[in-house]
C-alpha cells in the first residue's frame, strides 16, 4: 500500500491485452511473481478487462449508437473539406460514369429496329392526288393524270380490274394507256388505279388513294 | 547437503504463490483449457519437492524460482498436448467450466458499476479495453493527450473500486 509506484505497473495493461512479447513479457511475468503489489493490481485489472470483454456489447451499446450518429456529420465534413485535387478526382469519376452511360452502354443494346415499308406506307407525308379518271367514264380512258409532286419524282401507276391489269413508270404527271391495255378494259367492269411516287433515290414518298371507276358507254 | 536457505515456510509459499501460478498458467493455456488446474497442482508439487531437495539455493528470489518452474511446466504441457493432438483428436473444450458462480457474480457487479460511470469514463474503457485501441489511438480519437488517457483509465478504476466496496 505504499504510494511509491512500481515501474512495471505501466505494463499491466499491455500484458493483459497480449501486447507484450518475448523478453519484455518474460521480465514482466518474473516481476509479478516477485511483486505482490503488481500482482494484486493485475488481478483487479484482469477482472475488469475480462468483464469488459464478455459484456462489452451490452455495456457499450449506447457508445456504439452514438458513434454511428457522429458518423454522418463526419461524412458531411469530409465532403465540405475536399481539396481541389479531390474535387478533380470526383469530376473525372463523374465524366467516366457519363461516358459509360452514354458512350459504352448504348453499344450493348440490341440492333435498332428495321423499318420495312409496306406497299402503302410512305416516308414523307406528301399527298398524291389523282385527277382523271376519278369517276365513271363513258369511254375507255386514253390517259391517266395526277397532280405533280415536282421535279425528280418517279411515278408508278397500277391499274386493277380485280387483279393487276397494268403497271408502268413515268416521270410525267400523266401517262397514256397503251392500246393493248385499252382493248382489255371492257365496259361494265370495275377498275381501280393508284399511283406511287418515288424520290430520285427510290424512296417511296407518296401513295395516292385507290380510285375506282367504271366504263359506262353512252346509251 | 542440507543447504536450505533460512526460513522457507512451504505452507506460506504455497498459499502465497498458488494464485500467482494459477494466473500465469491460465494466461498461457487459456482458462478454457480444462486441465489448467492439473498443471498448477503439478507446479506446486514440483516446487515443494525441489525446495525439500534443496534445489532452491537462494541465488534468486523464491518468486523467480517458482516462475522458472511454472514456465518450464507450461512449455512441457504444451509439447505433450501437441503430441497427443497428433495421435488423437482433442475432445471439444467445455464452455468455460472454470468460471464459477462466485466469479460470475463479481463480474456482474462490476459490469453494473461500469454501466453507472459517466460517459467520458465509459468511452475510454470501451476504446482501450474493449476495442483494444492503443493509448495513442484513444488519445487521437478523443482529442486528448495520451497522458490524459492513462489518467482517465486510472480514475475510472478508482471509481469502480469505490463503487464495488460500498
> How would residue B45 be classed by pLDDT, with cut points 50, 70 and 90?
very high
Average pLDDT, chain A: 82
B63 chain-A contacts, CB cut-off 8 A: 30, 33-35
Of residues B83 and A154, which shows the higher confidence score? A154
Q: Is the pLDDT of residue B5 over 70?
A: no
- Which of B64, B106, B130 is nearest residue A30 as measured by Cβ atoms? B64
Grid cell for residue B76: 512441457
pLDDT of res. A120: 53
Average pLDDT, chain B: 84
pLDDT tens-place string over residues A156-184: 999 998 888 898 888 888 898 888 888 88
Residue with cell 469519376: A93
The span from the CA of A125 to the CA of A80, in Å, is 57
Say yes or no for a CB contact (<8 Å) between A60 and B128.
no
What letter does residue A100 receive in the DSSP assignment? Answer: I
A210 with A146, same domain: the answer is yes
Min Cα distance A57 → chain B (Å) is 9
pLDDT of res. A118: 56
- Helix intervals (H) in A2-122: 12-16, 22-34, 36-59, 61-80, 84-98
A175 with A152, same domain: the answer is yes
Min Cα distance B129 → chain A (Å) is 6
Mean pLDDT of B147-155: 93
pLDDT of res. B73: 92
Say yes or no for a CB contact (<8 Å) between A63 and B17.
no
Q: Is the pLDDT of residue B68 over 50?
A: yes
A181-190, B31-40, B105-114 — most confident range: B105-114
B107 chain-A contacts, CB cut-off 8 A: 47, 50-51, 54-55
> How would residue B12 be classed by pLDDT, with cut points 50, 70 and 90?
confident
A209 with A135, same domain: the answer is yes
Grid cell for residue B94: 467445455
- Which of B23, B61, B129 is nearest residue A43 as measured by Cβ atoms? B23
A156 with A179, same domain: the answer is yes
In a domain, A219, yes or no: no
- Which of A30, A47, A62 is nearest residue B67 as measured by Cβ atoms? A30
3-state secondary structure of A175: strand
Domain end, chosen from A74, A107, A140, is at A107
Residue of A nearest to B108 (CA): A51
A54 chain-B contacts, CB cut-off 8 A: 107
Whole-model pTM: value is 0.55
pLDDT of res. A95: 93
Say yes or no for a CB contact (<8 Å) between A47 and B106.
yes
A135 with A206, same domain: the answer is yes
Of residues A92 and A57, which shows the higher confidence score? A92
pLDDT of res. A186: 85
Min Cα distance B87 → chain A (Å) is 30
Domain that holds residue A185: 130-214
Q: Is the pLDDT of residue A124 over 70?
A: no
- What domains, with CATH codes, occur in chain B? 10-87 (1.10.1740.10), 101-165 (1.10.10.10)
pLDDT of res. A37: 92
A68 with A54, same domain: the answer is no
Lowest-pLDDT choice from A30-39, A119-128, A202-211, B43-52: A119-128
Report the DSSP pairing between strands A204-207 and A211-214.
Answer: unpaired
A88 with A153, same domain: the answer is no
pLDDT of res. A115: 56
Min Cα distance B98 → chain A (Å) is 13
pLDDT of res. A5: 75
A209 with A134, same domain: the answer is yes
What letter does residue A159 receive in the DSSP assignment? Answer: E
Q: Is the pLDDT of residue B152 over 90?
A: yes
Domain count, chain A: 3
pLDDT tens-place string over residues B105-150: 888 999 999 999 999 999 999 999 999 999 999 999 999 999 999 9
> How would residue A1 be classed by pLDDT, with cut points 50, 70 and 90?
very low
Does B164 reach chain A within 8 Å, measured CB to CB? Answer: no
pLDDT of res. A132: 84
Query: Looking at residue A173, which CATH number applies to its domain?
Result: 2.60.40.10
A98 with A159, same domain: the answer is no
In a domain, A42, yes or no: yes
A163 with A98, same domain: the answer is no
Say yes or no for a CB contact (<8 Å) between B129 and A49.
yes
In a domain, A112, yes or no: no
pLDDT of res. A38: 93
The span from the CA of A18 to the CA of A13, in Å, is 8
Task: Using CB atoms within 10 Å of the CB of residue B27, give its burial: 0 to 12 exposed, 13 to 18 middle, 19+ buried.
Answer: middle
The residue count of chain A comes to 219
A54 with A66, same domain: the answer is no
Q: Is the pLDDT of residue B156 over 80?
A: yes
pLDDT of res. A2: 46
Does B28 reach chain A within 8 Å, measured CB to CB? Answer: no
3-state secondary structure of A75: helix
Does A55 reach chain B within 8 Å, measured CB to CB? Answer: yes
Mean pLDDT of A120-148: 79
Lowest-pLDDT choice from A66-75, A141-150, B139-148: A66-75
In a domain, A161, yes or no: yes
Say yes or no for a CB contact (<8 Å) between A33 and B122.
no
Q: Is the pLDDT of residue A76 over 70?
A: no
Nearest to A149 by CA among A133, A170, A165, A178: A170
Min Cα distance A46 → chain B (Å) is 10
In a domain, A175, yes or no: yes
A148 with A195, same domain: the answer is yes
**Contact (Cβ atoms closer than 8 angstroms) between residue A175 and residue A106:** no
> How would residue A97 be classed by pLDDT, with cut points 50, 70 and 90?
very high
In a domain, A124, yes or no: no
Grid cell for residue B27: 494466461
Amino acid at each position: 500500500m505504499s504510494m511509491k509506484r512500481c515501474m512495471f505497473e505501466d505494463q499491466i495493461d499491455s500484458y493483459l491485452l497480449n501486447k507484450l512479447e518475448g523478453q519484455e513479457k518474460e521480465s514482466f511475468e518474473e516481476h509479478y511473481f516477485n511483486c505482490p503489489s503488481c500482482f494484486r493490481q493485475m488481478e483487479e485489472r484482469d477482472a475488469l478487462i475480462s468483464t469488459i470483454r464478455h459484456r462489452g456489447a451490452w455495456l457499450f451499446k449506447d457508445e456504439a449508437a452514438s458513434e454511428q450518429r457522429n458518423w454522418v456529420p463526419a461524412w458531411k465534413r469530409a465532403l465540405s473539406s475536399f481539396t481541389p485535387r479531390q474535387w478533380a478526382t470526383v469530376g473525372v469519376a463523374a465524366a467516366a460514369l457519363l461516358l459509360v452511360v452514354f458512350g459504352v452502354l448504348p453499344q450493348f443494346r440490341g440492333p435498332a429496329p428495321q423499318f420495312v415499308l409496306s406497299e402503302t406506307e410512305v416516308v414523307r407525308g406528301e399527298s398524291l392526288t389523282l385527277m382523271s379518271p376519278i369517276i365513271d367514264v363513258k369511254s375507255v380512258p386514253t390517259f391517266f393524270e395526277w397532280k405533280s409532286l415536282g421535279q425528280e419524282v418517279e411515278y408508278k401507276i397500277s391499274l386493277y380490274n380485280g387483279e393487276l391489269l397494268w403497271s408502268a413508270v413515268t416521270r410525267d404527271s400523266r401517262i397514256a394507256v397503251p392500246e393493248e391495255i385499252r382493248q382489255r378494259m371492257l365496259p361494265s367492269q370495275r377498275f381501280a388505279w393508284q399511283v406511287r411516287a418515288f424520290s430520285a433515290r427510290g424512296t417511296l414518298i407518296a401513295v395516292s388513294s385507290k380510285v375506282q371507276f367504271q366504263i359506262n358507254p353512252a346509251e | 547437503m542440507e543447504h536450505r536457505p533460512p526460513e522457507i515456510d512451504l505452507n506460506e509459499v504455497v498459499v502465497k504463490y498458488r494464485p500467482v501460478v494459477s494466473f500465469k498458467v491460465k494466461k498461457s493455456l487459456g482458462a478454457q483449457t480444462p486441465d489448467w488446474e492439473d498443471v498448477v497442482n503439478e507446479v506446486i508439487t514440483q516446487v515443494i519437492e525441489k525446495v525439500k531437495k534443496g534445489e532452491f539455493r537462494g541465488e534468486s528470489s523464491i518468486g523467480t524460482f517458482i516462475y522458472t518452474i511454472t514456465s518450464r511446466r507450461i512449455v512441457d504441457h504444451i509439447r505433450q498436448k501437441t503430441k497427443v493432438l497428433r495421435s488423437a483428436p482433442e475432445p471439444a473444450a467445455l464452455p468455460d467450466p472454470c468460471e464459477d458462480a462466485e466469479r460470475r457474480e463479481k463480474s456482474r457487479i462490476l459490469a453494473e458499476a461500469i454501466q453507472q460511470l459517466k460517459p467520458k469514463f465509459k468511452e475510454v474503457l470501451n476504446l482501450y479495453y474493449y476495442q483494444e485501441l492503443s493509448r495513442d489511438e484513444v488519445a487521437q480519437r478523443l482529442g486528448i493527450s495520451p497522458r490524459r488517457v492513462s489518467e482517465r483509465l486510472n480514475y475510472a478504476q478508482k471509481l469502480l473500486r469505490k463503487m464495488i466496496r460500498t
